[in-house]
């Protein structure tokens, strides 16, 4: 169950980071409140996942997949470009996350 919660935390992390870019283009209280609310949800889910997964493993998976997800989301939503070299390094991050998950004790 902890891994499912961590997966939801990763998705929330991606949405949170993308909402920061979205909110930067808006000048409303609503836009400013979205990343704030998501940050609390995000941290709460990560903390909950860490009850069943070691802190280092959970954080590595959360940050690694979050970073790759934000890059992909930025490409889709904001037209940001990624180079072939960046794609290779993103693949390495995913390989590292999978390796971390496969060798985790919990």
Residue with tokens 């919660």: 5
State the pLDDT at residue 9. 98
Residues 6+ apart with CB under 8 A from 49: 2, 3, 5, 6, 9, 58, 62
CA dihedral 89, 93, 98, 101 (to 10 degrees): 170
Mean pLDDT over each residue of the chain, to the nearest integer: 94
User: What letter does residue 53 receive in the DSSP assignment?
Assistant: S
pLDDT at 40 over 60: yes
Q: What is this structure's pTM?
A: 0.89
């Amino acid at each position: 169950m902890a891994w499912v919660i961590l997966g939801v935390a990763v998705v929330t992390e991606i949405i949170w980071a993308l909402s920061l870019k979205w909110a930067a283009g808006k000048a409303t209280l609503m836009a400013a409140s979205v990343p704030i609310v998501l940050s609390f949800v995000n941290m709460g889910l990560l903390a909950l996942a860490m009850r069943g997964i070691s802190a280092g493993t959970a954080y590595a998976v959360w940050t690694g997949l979050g970073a790759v997800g934000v890059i992909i989301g930025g490409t889709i939503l904001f037209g940001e470009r990624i180079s072939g070299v960046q794609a290779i390094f993103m693949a390495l991050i995913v390989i590292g996350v999978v390796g971390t998950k496969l060798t985790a004790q919990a």
